C-alpha cells in the first residue's frame, strides 16, 4: 500500500527482523553510583555540615547576627535564637 503526503508518494519502510532472530550478549550490569555505599561515615558527614553551617563558623567568618531570645532546653542546655544579617562588608 502506498501513501501520499502533499502530493508526494511515500514508501513504506521494510520490516525489521524479529528480536528473537538477533543474537547479542546482554550488557553487563554496572552499579549505580547513587546506590553505592558511601565511603564516609554518616556521623562524620553530619558533623562536617554542622561545623560548616554552624553558628560558630558563621560568627568567625564575620557574618552579622543578633541574639533575639535565650532559653533553657529540655536537656538543661542554654539555647539561643539568632537572627542572621548576612556577611559583613568589613566596615562595621
Helix H segments across the chain? 42-53, 55-60
The per-residue pLDDT for range 50-75, each reduced to its tens digit, is: 888 888 888 888 899 999 999 999 99
* Boundaries of every domain in the chain: 63-92
Minimum mean pLDDT range among 4-8, 41-45, 76-80, 81-85: 4-8
| Exposure letters 42-67 (e unless 16+ CB within 10 A, then b) | eeeeeeeeeeeeeeeebeeeeeeeee
- Return phi, psi of residue 3, to 5°: -120, 155
- The structure's pTM equals 0.42
Whether the pLDDT of residue 80 is over 80: the answer is yes
Task: Output the nine-digit C-alpha cell for 19.
Answer: 528480536
Amino acid at each position: 500500500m502506498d501513501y501520499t503526503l502533499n502530493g508526494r508518494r511515500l514508501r513504506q519502510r521494510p520490516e525489521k527482523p524479529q528480536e528473537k532472530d538477533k543474537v547479542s550478549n546482554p550488557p553487563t550490569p554496572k552499579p549505580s553510583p547513587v546506590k553505592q555505599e558511601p565511603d564516609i561515615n554518616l556521623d562524620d558527614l553530619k558533623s562536617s555540615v554542622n561545623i560548616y553551617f554552624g553558628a560558630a563558623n558563621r560568627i568567625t567568618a564575620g557574618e552579622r547576627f543578633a541574639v533575639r531570645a535565650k532559653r533553657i532546653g529540655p536537656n538543661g542546655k542554654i539555647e539561643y535564637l539568632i537572627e542572621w544579617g548576612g556577611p559583613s562588608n568589613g566596615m562595621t
